[in-house]
């Protein structure tokens, strides 16, 4: 099997903790062909979608340690047609590039893509949680999204809660997530000005969300594969930061899913699969869904570490990928034989 990982640059990989690297290593370990490219490496030649790839040289023996694997990998540059791969694993960081999706539209019927292009179009930002229809806030906290500063200020003032969370719509890795309090309303006006007007766009959407009690103790990252949980960890904020993201200084602990978290996964799993969102990371606080991460959900290496490699989530992910590719090939082979029968009739 040949897999192309569309992701961030190879030199940006964290060789000790990178989920994409763990998935690549598992593919190489199984003898699969692997190539990587960034979204900006896509191109069209003679009306065929190609990518300027870094091809991973096959290894006779794959190192066990992730960092050792990264240091021993040999890469060669080559332009390759995307339709020639069996699978494309999308692992680029937000925001989602719509032009890149237009390139991939040309091969979506030829190659199995994780996650589906339509699914990523619908779920690549923090608005996707609204699709789960939760008018009574049973599984998601009260959420407001707007570019209108006056409206957002009014929602803060009318909220019964003393604390709320404010964050940019297209942020990731905990970037830009701020805890606000009604007692500090003097700062809200300038803060919203900054969020709405900063960046290249004329204005940006801001998310305002009820603060969930217990958030100061951390959140839970759950990885779902084909709608089912395959790994989870508790993320605990550092001393000087309310955010629990590991990239923001948080730490990780073992976590067994609660009854409420299992029910949450069961409720949202079918929609994720229906939308072609096969590998997803969700963030949960107090049994409520805070975010759905569909572009490059991380956590595999941290889950493996806290469970001392007894879980090895990447094995389950690549098992699933292999099964989907086999199903696609068998379906193609069956249709080819049936068409041959009709041709020869």
Amino acid 240: pLDDT? 60
**94 or 284: which leads in pLDDT:** 284
Distance separating alpha carbons of residues 316 and 225, to the nearest angstrom: 8
158, 162, 181, 184, 194 from 187: Cα distances, Å: 17, 15, 10, 6, 11
> Which residue did the predictor score with more confidence, 111 or 176?
111
> What's the CATH number where 146 sits?
3.30.1490.20
pLDDT of 237 over the 90 cut: no
Residues 298 and 200 grouped into a single domain: no
Task: Note down the domain range covering 188.
Answer: 142-210
Q: What is the pLDDT of residues 180-207, one digit of tens each?
A: 888 777 778 888 888 888 765 567 888 8
- The SS3 of residue 260 is helix
Q: Is the pLDDT of residue 328 over 70?
A: yes
Q: Rg of the chain over CA atoms, in angstroms?
A: 22
Q: Is residue 84 part of a domain?
A: yes
Q: What's residue 308's pLDDT?
A: 82
Examine residue 265 and state whether it is found in any structural domain, yes or no: yes
Same domain membership, residue 110 and residue 8: yes
Nearest alpha carbon to residue 291 among 173, 158, 186: 173
Identify whether residues 95 and 178 lie together within a single domain: no
* Statement: residue 264 has pLDDT above 70: yes
Lookup: tokens for 312: 């090895």
Q: Residue 284's domain is classified under what CATH number?
A: 3.30.470.20
- Would 126 be classed as within a structural domain? no
Relative to beta strand 206-210, strand 178-181 is unpaired
Among 52-56, 59-63, 72-76, 193-197, the range scoring the smallest mean pLDDT is: 193-197
Q: Encoding tokens for residue 252? A: 């990780």
Domain limit, last residue, from 150, 175, 210: 210
Judge whether 128 and 122 are in contact, CB under 8 Å: yes
- Same structural domain, 268 and 171: no
Q: How many domains does the chain have?
A: 3
How far is C-alpha 117 from the chain's CA centre? 13
Residues 11 and 91 occupy one common structural domain: yes
Same domain, 7 and 110: yes
Domain for residue 190, yes or no? yes
Whether this prediction's pTM lies above 0.85 is answered by: yes
Q: Is residue 121 part of a domain?
A: no
Residues 266-322 have pLDDT tens digits of 999 999 999 999 999 999 999 999 889 999 999 999 999 998 877 789 999 999 999
- Quick one: pLDDT at residue 184? 76
Residue 124, in any domain of the structure: no
User: What separation in angstroms does the CA of 334 have from each of 41, 107, 112, 208?
Assistant: 34, 21, 17, 51
Domain annotation covers residue 192: yes
User: Do residues 299 and 282 lie in contact, with contact meaning Cβ atoms separated by under 8 Å?
Assistant: no
Q: Is residue 120 part of a domain?
A: no
Mean pLDDT of the chain: 90
Band the pLDDT of 260: cuts 50, 70, 90.
very high
Domain of 103: which CATH number? Answer: 3.40.50.20
Work out the pLDDT band at 133, boundaries 50, 70, 90.
low
């Amino acid at each position: 099997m040949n897999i192309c990982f569309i992701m961030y640059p190879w030199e940006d990989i964290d060789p000790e903790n990178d989920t994409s690297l763990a998935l690549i290593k598992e593919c190489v370990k199984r003898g699969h062909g692997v190539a990587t490219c960034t979204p900006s490496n896509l191109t069209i030649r003679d009306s065929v979608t190609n990518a300027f790839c870094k091809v991973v040289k096959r290894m006779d023996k794959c190192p066990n340690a992730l960092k050792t694997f990264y240091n021993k990998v040999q890469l060669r540059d080559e332009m390759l047609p995307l339709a020639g791969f069996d699978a494309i694993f999308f692992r680029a960081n937000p925001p989602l590039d719509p032009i890149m999706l237009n390139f991939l539209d040309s091969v979506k019927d030829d190659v199995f893509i994780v996650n589906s292009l339509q699914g990523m179009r619908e779920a690549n930002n923090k608005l996707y949680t609204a699709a789960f229809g939760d008018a009574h806030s049973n599984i998601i906290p009260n959420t407001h999204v707007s570019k209108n500063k006056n409206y957002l200020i009014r929602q803060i003032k009318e909220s019964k809660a003393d604390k709320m969370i404010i964050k940019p719509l297209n942020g990731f890795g905990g970037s830009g997530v701020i805890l606000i309090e009604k007692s500090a309303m003097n700062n809200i006006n300038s803060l919203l000005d900054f969020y709405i007007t900063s960046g290249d766009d004329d204005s940006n959407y801001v998310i305002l969300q009820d603060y969930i009690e217990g958030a100061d103790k951390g959140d839970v990252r759950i990885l779902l594969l084909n709608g089912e949980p395959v790994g989870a960890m508790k993320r605990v904020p550092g001393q000087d930061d309310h955010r629990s993201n590991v990239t923001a200084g948080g730490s990780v602990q073992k976590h067994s899913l609660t009854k409420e978290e299992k029910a949450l996964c069961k409720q949202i799993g079918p929609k994720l699969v229906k939308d072609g969102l096969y590998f997803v990371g969700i963030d949960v606080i107090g049994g409520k869904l805070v975010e759905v991460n569909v572009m490059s959900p991380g956590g595999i290496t941290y889950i493996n570490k806290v469970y001392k490699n007894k879980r090895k989530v990447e094995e389950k992910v690549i098992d699933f990928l292999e099964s989907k590719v086999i199903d696609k090939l068998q379906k193609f082979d069956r249709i080819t034989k049936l068409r041959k029968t009709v041709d020869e009739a």
